[in-house]
Each structure stands twice: as structure tokens, then as C-alpha cells.
Amino acid sequence: MLKFKEHIIKKKIEKLQQTLDNRSMEIKPVKTVAILNNPKSNLTFDNLKYLQKALGLSSSQFDIFTFKEKNDHYNELRGIVASKDIFSTFGKIKTPEILEFLDKKYDLLIDFTGQTTLYEQFFSLTIKANFRIGYMHPGETYDLMLNVPQGDIKKFADETARYLKIIGLL
């Protein structure tokens, strides 16, 4: 059954990728930020505060979505937490709270996952954002890909702020 669900999610990823490739982006100041996170990303409360300061935004402007495996022990930051259990056999999301998060539009998506799983890739493509930032990752559609060591949140935050200022989004 799991292989069937993963096959459906892969098909959804292909469609999402095509849609993302054909979208247009607006140059407008960032006011809302979605963060995609996992237990390996090294996003702590202190790192989150550092990111907020680097971007000149308040904590109320950030929403955090954490994807974790069922057995991961992770001290979650505030926000939505999901695992692969939220999907039905046919690849539909069963949790209203997660559907609500995915329906919201953000000015910026910051993906700290490095997309190590099919599910992280799905969520990275599903979160609606005007501008998308992530780690350098082959085949991924980000507007900005940063070549910084994965897990070095402070360097990632500094580089994100620097490029967003150059582009005119901050």
C-alpha cells in the first residue's frame, strides 16, 4: 500500500513542478514567511530569532511547518508538525490543520530540509509562496538556491537577507 501512495505523491510532485516552472514572481517586500523544517535542519529557537532579526521581521510574520518521521524525537518549534501518516492511501492529506497551512499564501518560503525525502519535496512544492529559497539541490525549483553547509542556519540567514536586499524583497 505504501508504494501506491508514494507513486501518487510522485505524480503530484511532477504536476507541482510544472506549475512552479510556469509561474511568475512579483517583486514586493516580504511580509509573511513559511519555513519548511525537519529534525535534521538545526533550526532552534535561537537560530529562528537570528533569522527573524536578519530579515527584519517579527515572529508573528513566520509560520513553521515541520516534517518528521514517526519515531523522530524533536523539540518542535511552534507551528504545524506532519509525518507521512497524514496522507491517505490515495495520497490525499487527511488533516484539516495542514490543509489550511498549505492553502495560505506566503511572500517567502525558506526550505531548511534539504529535501531528503519524497514527502519533504512534496511539501516544498505545495507551500504557496511568491519567492522560494532553499539549499543547492539538483532538480529543485527555487528562485534562490544557497550553497551553504546544510544546518548552518546563521550563514543561511545572512545570505538570505543579503540576496533578498539585492533583489528588492527586503
Which residue, among 110, 37, 111, 49, has the nearest Cα to 74 in the 3D structure?
37
Is 170 domain-assigned?
A: no
Q: Which domain holds residue 75?
A: 2-165
Q: What is the pLDDT of residue 139?
A: 66
Compute the distance between CA of residue 107 and CA of residue 27 in angstroms, rounded to an integer.
10
DSSP label at residue 117: S
> How confident is the model over 11-63, as pLDDT tens digits?
998 898 888 877 877 788 999 999 999 988 889 999 999 999 999 999 999 99
Q: How far is CA 116 from CA 49, 56, 108, 111, in A?
A: 25, 29, 21, 11
Split into its structural domains, the chain has a count of: 1
Is 71 domain-assigned?
A: yes
Q: What is the pLDDT of residue 126?
A: 93
> How confident is the model over 120-155, as pLDDT tens digits?
999 999 999 999 999 987 666 788 999 999 889 999
The domain spanning residue 141 has which CATH number? 3.40.50
Is 21 domain-assigned?
A: yes
